[in-house]
Chains A and B, each alone.
Chain A
Amino acid sequence: MKKIRQAVCTLLLLAVVGTLELSARGYAQEPRLTVSLNDVPLSKVFDVIRQKTNYQFLYNDDLLAGTPLVSVHARNAPVSEILSSCFKDAHLQYKIEDKTILVMAPPVAVPATAPVAQQAPAIEVRGVVRDEKGAPIEGASVVVKGSAKGVVSDAEGHFTINVQSEKDVLVFSYIGYVKEEKTVGASHMLLITLKLIDASMNDVVVVGYGVQKKVNVLGAVSVVKSDELVVTKNENVVNMLTGKVPGMRIQQMSSEPGSFNTSYDIRGFGSNATESPSPPLIIIDGVPRSSGDLSRMDPTEIDNISVLKDASAAIYGVKAANGVILVTTKRGAKNANGKFNITYSFNQSWQQFLDVPKTVNGAQYMTLYNESQKRNYQTNIVATAPPAFSDSLINAYATGKLQSTNWMAAITRKFAPEDQHNLNMSGGSEKVNYFFDLGYMSQGSLFKTNSINYDRWNFRSNVNLNFTKRLRGSVLVSGYMDTKNAPYSSVWTIFKYAENLLPTDPIYANNNPDYIHLEPDNANPVQMANSDQVGQNTYKNNNFQGQMQLEYDIPGIPGLLAKGMYNLGYSVSDNTIINKSHNMYTYDATNSAYDVTTVSAPSWVQRQYYTNLNTLMQLSLNYHRQFAGAHNVTALGLYEENYGKGDNFQAQESFSLGIPYLFAGNAGDYNYLKALQDGNGLVNQVTKSFIGRFDYDYKGRYLAEFSFREDGSSKYSPSGRWGFFPGALVGWRISQEPFLQQLISPSVLNNLKFRASYGKLGDDGALNYQWVSGYSYPGPGAVLNGVYTGGVVSQGIPDPGLTWMVSKTLNIGADFDLLNGLIGGTLEYFKRTRSGIPATPNAQLPGTSGLQPLQANLNGDVTRGFEITLTHRHNIGRDFSYNVSANMGYSRNRYAFQEQTRASSEYDQYLYSLTGRNTNIWWGQVAAGRFTSYSQIQKFNENTGGGNQNVVPGDYYYKDLNHDGVVDSKDIVPIGIRDLPLLNYGVTLGASYKGFDVSILLQGSADFHVQYAEQLSQPLMYQRSSLVEFMDRWHTKDPNANMFDPNTVWVPGNYPTTGSQEAQGTAAVQNASYLRVKTLEIGYSLSRKLLTRVGIQSLRIYVNSYNLATLTHLKYADPEHPGQTGDTNNGDTRITQDWNISQGGYLYPENRTFSVGASVSF
């Protein structure tokens, strides 16, 4: 118990310098000292004692509040004597333990050693005081209610007290625990379990450039702790956050190993998936890092993640507009006897793939093909066409006489492995504590060849040092190395061809596995998914971070601390792209020969090398002091300088010897010899910032915070490179008001706080030296006399006033805690107004001017939303405890102003004008129904095109919304929300019983639609094959019936007849709302007794599943699998068709994993 407390205190110190004070020194015997002080606060006395001795004090600031001033005059007196004299009037109790002076809660009126009143006969009551986990509590006070009589429990938690009657009531109390009352009863024996006062009340939260007590936090800040994080098992830290942070939208687009293809944003502000506006700012241990760095962290090294969503981020200034994700890594803990922990954990997963498209077989393909041919009005009415495929042929495939090829099955496997290993050591002493971490993970892919695969090593060494009692330091060193391998053929093309190649085509020419069959576009998936044949892409990232920090308590001014920090980050991306020429064959039956065709010739290898160096320096002064026992003041002043340098080069050469290295290239082949540099990757940037924060609270009741940041960047013109970003936050912790405490007991209403914040933040992600006019070289050029001559290209016309976009964020929130954790929650409302979003000001500029203006600060938008978090925690008996936490976030974005060219008609104005309109609207026709019979088609009085001659039962019809008698592209209206869901929620359920524990994370999204393209949207796309779902279609009962004959009997289905127009609008756009069991973990911790015998401290084993089950209306596709992005027709200039988001629907699928794992500590 004691050790745990010390450890907790040490951690708190590291976190909240000044809120809880602790000064550590070792001493063997009680020292004597001389003190002379008049009318000073107790804390001053402690300071003097601390300075003159090596005693440490342990107390909570709240205890000293309201204690009277004291005067002490002692000559060479023992510490205890001095303390006793001070504490005379303070209603505090102290206790010297080891070298620590514990100052405790108001003691019982009479000390335990007070004489027992001479009344007889006394009943001796015995008992044990324990905490919820059954550990004994030492030093708990046991008082007879209504008397002054009391004792203190011993090291085993035992106590013995004499009472007058069995009806007497005993009151048990201990710092940090809920007071408990119990009647003595007949047995004279009592077993008392004290519950912790909601520990979260004393939690600290990492905020920008510091930490704050959770109860004092005024901003919208969400925290995910290590144990909450790691319960989800995934290779990407971002995926492990899904459903855990209210207001954070996370969508895992694919589970492709090493692609980390997860899109996320905070409150819909700015996503990592698009370059502009910029993604949330990622800060790892105080250092700005990339989204990819966050994804690639070893989850075990993370202590906690704070997400700043409002003006609390203003302290990050010009980069903060889209929120900040702060990651803090683990530190070692002081261990009194120098003991250390070694923990090894492993996780073995099997990945299963969700909604991998299934393709039709030969007979199905031919049936669909014949239908589409019959469906053709022209050919069927003008002259009835014979079917392309005869019944006998279809039958041959249906009966297996002829073999269909299942391309997808030929390249994929059902399960793919993934594993993670982690070894860490932590420990500490008075002088040093440390945390070392080594992690490894590897992930295989769904391809049978495993040609896509990924592995990663993570390393971290965090060391904290106490040099002297005033000077402390830390050294943080970390890095990762990872490698992704993939076949040269892009992954999406492998899926595309596996989905659309004909099932009647063979994989191998003449079915001879030595001869890959030549397929259209030279695309045979079996070959494409095999790096040995087509070549391999290897992407390696190496990242190193080294950080040194020193902090120094400045003598003379209590509470003033100077800090300095320097971080050096270096990363290298080292890629090798190998294109191998390969052979494909056709079999020439007439001559019994294999005709070869060599494709992708010549073979070539390309190396790409990118380096980045970043340094960060911070110097700061921190001040924390309480005045007059009521006014708490914290202040921070910080100077920061950031330097970034990036460089790169690429080299390429063809090779013919089969050795894919540059040295073995074909030196004479200048056509494929390239040496390149990406001019945009040539970075040289400096930013300087002055940062300040001032916190004030009065008795923890009225709280206020002001922060600012003055940012200067070399990216802007000298006249406009500095920007000022202030933030103000206020709060009222009404639960601390005496009037409210009288109305509602503080043990019922533990906490109620109202807060508001407003700040100005910036976003400079979209800008890069656009104020400089001039030419870039070499730009697009021409071949003159056979020699390539690079061109010079004007940069365009700069707007000298161009600057970052400004966002102003308002947040109003409330936090409450009731009944020690039974109910807790947070409510947030936010509104962000953004102005100066850069856009090219050519909407009004006639093209004849020839001016190519660069961006100017033109557009604006508004984002509004709310978040709700509710928590519930409860213990039933000693062994069973559970907790529930639910969160939900909603966010909507609207164009406040959008610069646009004047529309040419009122209708176009309605359709294309964006100002004042919500973003991410899906426009489309509204399906009114589908035709079920010929008579319905004949009576239909609107023209769906071509006078409805080419319409058959099963076809959709749409509403003529503009009532012009024709149903066409002018009948579109907003029909859905695209790209990212508006509403996101998560529910975490946790329970433990004895050694067992269960965690479930339910996560979902609503208000979000998808439409799929290409192969997922229609059968026989590009005259190729089809997916099986399209067999569920309207078709004639008799396959040979004429589709345009009114007497034909139809069989209904989900899709229109093959060959009909693709579904449009609401018939095609699907609601992708979903609820899924993101995480399920069941664990068992072996009993400590058993383990200590074999020298193991703890051992936990578990089974886990990721994406176990999903509830959605969506058919044949995973809801997180992205569909088509924006519809360019609606004039939305900011979100246009981005092939990379969904890759036409051919993106590598999502996965579900089943894992077993264990972690063991020595």
Chain B
Amino acid sequence: MSVKYIDEYRDGRLAGVFAAQIAEAVHPERAYRFMEFCGGHTHAISRFGIADLLPANVRMIHGPGCPVCVLPVGRIDMAIQLARRPDVTLCTYGDLMRVPGSRGASLLKAKAAGADIRMVYSTLDALRIAEAEPSREVVFFAIGFETTTPPTALAIRRAAARGLANFSVFCNHVLTPSAIRAILESPGEAGGMRVDGFIGPSHVSTVIGTEPYDFAARTFGKPVVVTGFEPVDVMQAILMLIRQLNEGRCEVENQYVRAVTRTGNRIAQAEIAEVFEPRDSFEWRGLGEIPRSGLRLKPAYAAFDAERRFALQGITGRDNPACECGEILRGEKRPADCKLFGTACTPDTPMGACMVSSEGACAAHWTYGRFRDLARRVA
């Protein structure tokens, strides 16, 4: 039985068709380096073994589009501190449980020590808990790019509409275009860590549309192909990027036409605009402070802002000094280049966020692809 709108885009036969097209399209003497920004794409590329289907001169670089990976250590520390309060029930997406904070702390360890931390699949679950347990201060640990931001906005509006006095959000939402700009402006990029083009995120783009990527093409001369989630989508998009480069074009193209439009989801954008405003600056693990890249709750919704409600002080966390998540998030190094990869740092003993999240470059490589390192070394 085939699953509509999923199976067709995973058809192995089409993989072969596109692999052949790509092999034919590439100019043999040139190197093509494409960054897939979104963690979901990193995961798909690893999980379906797409690297095996590309010619040697096409290299995929994993970008920082993994919201768990880019969350700075200090924010995890703040969440742990919040969760330790006896009156607080912290609701979090599962991926965040094992992210290392400072000094090896984590939400999972805090839970083991007695903090009331609950894994939820959706903001709807957190709201339900707040309604069911009025004596608890229920805080939702909100992270993510523009896909998870509208759900958080809706949850806050719903809480406001229902007068839910015990619900608040610890907001760590970040903005995709700002991160892409930061990569393009980073010294590594200028200094030769060359990204030739971007595989643009799928779900984020259903929300923001394709318009916000125009600057990458106009200002920085980098083509962007907004791409669907499935492996055949990725193969088709790679072909589109190769052709752009070969033909000297530099455009934002939409491969994910079945779900993405130029202007995006207006309802979702309106929800975001109603509840959130940009922070002047927000710290990203591995990328440092990026101006206007993060969101906070507007004053009108201050009652639901956990940072204000609990007078949280910012914490400057400490990354493990040997951890090279930063270079990896910027695409300057491969996971296998990090000295800690596979030795001190594994998914069971993660040193940095790239290894904890299933969308992180290191975790994806470890879980699906590390057998290739040995082949490379031998060959």
Query: A and B: partners?
Result: no
